[in-house]
Amino acid sequence: MLALRLARGTHPLVLLRRLLVSAASAGVGFLLLCTLGYAVDHPSGALLRLMWCVVPLATTVHFAVAVARTDPSTRPRAGLSAVGLGPARLTAIAAASTAVACTLGSVVALLVYLHLRVTGLPFDGTAAGLLAADRPMPLPGALTLLTVLPVSASAAAGIALRPRTRRPAEVSDPAHPEEPAAAPSGLPWGVTLVVAGLAVETYLSRGAGGSAFPTPGHPQGSRAGVLAGWALTALGLAVAGPGLAHFSGRLLQLARPGAARLLAGRVLMAEARRIGRPLGVVSAVASGAIAAAALYGRPGPHPFGPLTGLGATLVISCTVATLLTATLESRHARAKTTAALLSLGTPTTLLRAAASLRALALLAVFAPPTVVIGELAALPLGH
């Protein structure tokens, strides 16, 4: 009840972000219910479709956690601890709000799914066959699948926002501006995971066909373990994201930087952990899109069904929305610094130039590995 009361007084932009979480949850819930309907008639291929649903589910959970992090109603404020709203209680409220938003989307997905099973309006009435409308729906299985996302998102939000003390290495010393923050240590691990993922994909794509894992342009299909290679590659890009963002800041400060480059580089180094992870996830999704485009451009069967577009839209939308949410969080975090610079007479053109330099530096660092990894990921599947 407290979470609902706080929602009534929140800013419309915050409510919009929560509604976007509900919309993404509705899309994921619909995909899961369609997988259940497919499993009724095709039990042998249901596991593969369920594996594909893990990708949009994970990106939706990531987006829900990002929205929970930027929710102003769950931030610690003076006086709240005196009324019993300490950091632990606020974390519980954030998890409850996330669960409510995701549950709302799951309910919408169930209603839409039941409506389509009865009417079969889309695709000139063929949606009734796609949703297995002629077979009874296992209600316990449907409800179980619909609870996966709310439980996962609320648990992830609770873990991400749990009260914890910051390590000394993560706290910058105002007396030493030459150290904004310690460099993230995940870059070597991220590179290792990317190389391991590409190696696993290359190794498991060899051998005889006949696997149940469908890929465009590959008539006999690929081994299902290729998905593990893709997952390792995506995880590696996400882990390496903060390190790449920190490297972008250092790159801007090379060769006698001016005020704009120095400011842009220091801001990137300080915010590497906050925006690096979403940037790494966006790079992983972009590399997957490049690989999919390369595969679809080759001659051969394209065995993905009509729900592939919905899943791809969910993944792309959630990753981009997560990045935009992290950008807004970073802007809010440095609001006091920006106000101090403006009070000292810093021209606004300098701040705009620094923002443009940050965007260009991130694009220059993240774009080449994204394209290369996408092309390398598609190469073994074309043989």
Unique residue bearing structure tokens 């996400």: 238
Taking only the tens place, the pLDDT of each residue in 283-304 is 999 998 888 787 776 665 555 6
Asked if the model's pLDDT at residue 345 lies above 70, the reply is yes
Taking only the tens place, the pLDDT of each residue in 121-166 is 655 555 666 676 677 778 888 889 999 999 999 999 989 888 765 5
d(CA 16, CA 372): 36
d(CA 343, CA 68): 32
Asked if the model's pLDDT at residue 216 lies above 70, the reply is no
pLDDT at 349: 92
Asked if the model's pLDDT at residue 217 lies above 60, the reply is no
Neighbours of 10 (CB within 10 A): 15
Q: Is the alpha carbon torsion for 184, 189, 193, 195 positive or negative?
A: positive
Taking only the tens place, the pLDDT of each residue in 172-199 is 443 343 447 678 888 899 999 999 988 8
Judge whether 222 and 213 are in contact, CB under 8 Å. Answer: yes
Tokens coding 252: 């801007």
pLDDT at 117: 77
- Confidence band for 281, pLDDT divided at 50, 70 and 90: very high
Residues 310, 311, 315, 320: what is their CA dihedral angle, to the nearest 10 degrees? -10
- Confidence band for 34, pLDDT divided at 50, 70 and 90: confident
Mean pLDDT of the chain: 80
Tokens coding 270: 């300080």
- Confidence band for 363, pLDDT divided at 50, 70 and 90: very high
Phi, psi (5° rounding) for residue 221?
A: 80, 170
- Which of 9-23, 101-115, 132-146, 163-177 has maximum average pLDDT? 101-115
- Confidence band for 225, pLDDT divided at 50, 70 and 90: low
pLDDT at 178: 43
**% of the chain at pLDDT higher than 70:** 75
Closest by CA position to 182, among listed 196, 171, 166: 171
Higher pLDDT, 218 or 131: 131
DSSP-assigned beta bridge partners for residue 213: 222
Taking only the tens place, the pLDDT of each residue in 230-277 is 788 888 998 999 999 999 999 999 888 888 999 999 999 999 988 999
pLDDT at 45: 64
